[in-house]
Every structure is written in C-alpha cells, then in structure tokens.
C-alpha cells in the first residue's frame, strides 16, 4: 500500500488508499453523481452480464447518494468496506471493490466483489487496486480470509483472481441468481499468512 491516510478525524476514519495510478476511497455521498454515471455508462452489455438483477433506480443519483451514505455507516460499523476507484485527480469512477459481510470471531472473513469500467479493462487497474486493498484488508482491518466467487465463463474475473493469488476451493451449484437464472460459481479465496491469531487463542476476538 503506497499510502493510507485518514480522510477525517472520526474515531474510525474512512481510509484513502493510494496506488501508483489510483486513489481508492470508501464510497461517500459526494460521489453519488459519479457512481450513478458509472452505472449508466457500464451497466448494459457489460456489468449486467455478471451481476444480480438491478432495481429500477440503478442510474439515479439520489439512489447512489443514499447507498454511499449507507456505505459510510457500514464502514463505521465494521460490516463492509466499499471502495470506489478513481484517478488521483478524482473525476470519473473507474471501478468499485466491495468487501462485504465482514464476520469476526473464529471466521475473520469477508466477501469481495468488483466491477471495472468497460473502457478501462485490460490495463491492470483492477489488479493494482485489489493488490493494495487486499493488503489493506489483511494488515489494517486484520481479516484472515477474503472470498470471491465467479461464473466459470467469466474468464477475465478468473484471470484477475489467479494473478492476485486466490485459490480455487470448489464449485457451487445454482449459487447466484444472475441474468434470470441460478448460476453455478467457482469459489475462490485468499488467506492472510500473517494473521495474528493471539487474540483468538486468548478468546478475545
């Protein structure tokens, strides 16, 4: 991680992770218009192929402003870290990386989902973002396992996870309802070799 700086003085400040070409921030209401535009530009014929059905407000600024507010609350509550990818000077959203369903106790795990702008695929932006964010999730959020699942025909997603070191763990039948049908998914995960399990041993986590 090139740089992790707090955005504000809250007790649980939202992180800002910098990589050589990107800045990754937790979604916040000011990004509502940019996120809505990301979905307007990228949904049809790109994200819709690999995503659960979207509601009628997918392209609505108000909807995304509300979702971003919820993302901030989730970050503060420690239940999810929903990142938005931009160039260092801001502007267009290039992608999203969502670490969700964070579970502590003896599991210390979360799910990962990601989406890149159609026009920005094939340039390594998602690899760059996820390398930094996986490290952040392991080092700063102190999780032990990141799980990511993909449809077998999603070869770009498969290559991305392989590059990042995720290991395939199995095939889940009829796993997610996507594009009108229950779709099989390959289950993959990355575990943290440096996880400090002392608090777990002491029964403190």
Ligand X SMILES: CC(C)(COP(=O)(O)OP(=O)(O)OC[C@H]1O[C@@H](n2cnc3c(N)ncnc32)[C@H](O)[C@@H]1OP(=O)(O)O)[C@@H](O)C(=O)NCCC(=O)NCCS
Among 64, 138, 150, 166, binds ligand X (CB under 6 A): 150
- Cα angle at 96 between 25 and 24, to 5 degrees? 25
Half-sphere exposure of 127 (CA within 13 A, CB side): 13
User: Binding of ligand X at residue 86 (CB under 6 A)?
Assistant: no
- Across the beta sheet with 23-26, the strand order is 3-6, 15-18, 23-26, 81-87, 90-103, 109-116, 145-150, 181-191, 167-178
Among 62, 107, 123, 153, binds ligand X (CB under 6 A): 123
User: Binding of ligand X at residue 83 (CB under 6 A)?
Assistant: no
CA distance 70 to 159: 31
User: Binding of ligand X at residue 156 (CB under 6 A)?
Assistant: yes
Q: Which stretch binds ligand X (CB under 6 A): 66-74, 81-89, 118-126, 169-177?
A: 118-126
Among 79, 86, 100, 121, binds ligand X (CB under 6 A): 121
Residue number with the shortest CB distance to ligand X? Answer: 124
Shortest distance (Å) from residue 128 CB to ligand X:
7
User: Binding of ligand X at residue 191 (CB under 6 A)?
Assistant: no
User: In this structure, is the dihedral angle defined by the CA atoms of residues 161, 163, 168 and 174, taken in order, positive or negative?
Assistant: positive
Residues that bind ligand X (CB under 6 A): 46-47, 50, 114-116, 121-127, 150, 154, 156-157, 159-160
């Amino acid at each position: 991680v090139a740089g992790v700086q707090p955005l504000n003085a809250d007790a649980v400040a939202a992180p800002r992770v910098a990589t050589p070409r990107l800045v990754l921030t937790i979604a916040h209401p000011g990004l509502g218009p940019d996120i809505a535009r990301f979905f307007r530009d990228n949904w049809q014929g790109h994200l819709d192929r690999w995503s659960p059905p979207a509601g009628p407000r997918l392209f609505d600024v108000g909807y995304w402003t509300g979702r971003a507010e919820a993302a901030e609350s989730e970050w503060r509550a420690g239940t999810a870290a929903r990142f938005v990818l931009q160039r260092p000077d801001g502007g267009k959203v290039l992608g999203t990386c969502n670490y969700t369903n964070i579970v502590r106790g003896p599991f210390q795990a979360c799910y990962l989902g990601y989406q890149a702008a159609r026009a920005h695929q094939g340039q390594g932006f998602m690899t760059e973002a996820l390398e930094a964010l996986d490290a952040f999730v392991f080092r700063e959020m102190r999780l032990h396992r990141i799980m990511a699942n993909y449809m077998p025909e999603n070869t770009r997603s498969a290559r991305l996870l392989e590059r990042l070191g995720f290991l395939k763990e199995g095939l889940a039948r009829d796993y997610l309802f996507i594009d009108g049908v229950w779709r099989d998914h390959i289950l993959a995960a990355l575990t943290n070799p440096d996880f400090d399990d002392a608090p777990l041993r002491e029964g403190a986590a």
